[in-house]
Amino acid sequence: MPSANLLLYFQDDVSVVNHWLMNGKHYAETSEEWLKRMDRSLASIKPIMESTYGKDQAVKWTVYWRTFFIAVAELFGYNNGEEWMVAVFLFKKKKSHHQFSFPPIISLGH
């Protein structure tokens, strides 16, 4: 995971209005819910996995996604969510300094 302040260094197009840390408990619970939804929907997910990763790789990638959800739930839920934090950022889009002008459309008389 990147550091909690990493996005503070990328403010060319946006400004950070506010940012804060939350413990990982909610993210752990969210990941557990995603896993439950995935397990309930395996029949409808199968064609998506096949079209995304190929028929011969679909089962493997389904297992990878299950493993990811389990790992996130365990890591972020560890120590009641106090070990791994979630950084939350509120951004504001900066006004563009670029002026785009397009050439006029020329009719060819068709």
3-class secondary-structure state, position 11: coil
pTM given for the model: 0.73
**Domain boundaries in the chain?**
6-93
Confidence (pLDDT) at 96: 75
Mean pLDDT of 8-20: 93
Q: Which two tokens stand for residue 86?
A: 């979630």
| pLDDT score of 110 more than 60 | no
Measured distance CA(4)–CA(85) in Å, rounded: 8
Q: Could you report the per-residue pLDDT of 67-90, keeping only the tens digit for each?
A: 999 999 999 999 999 999 999 999
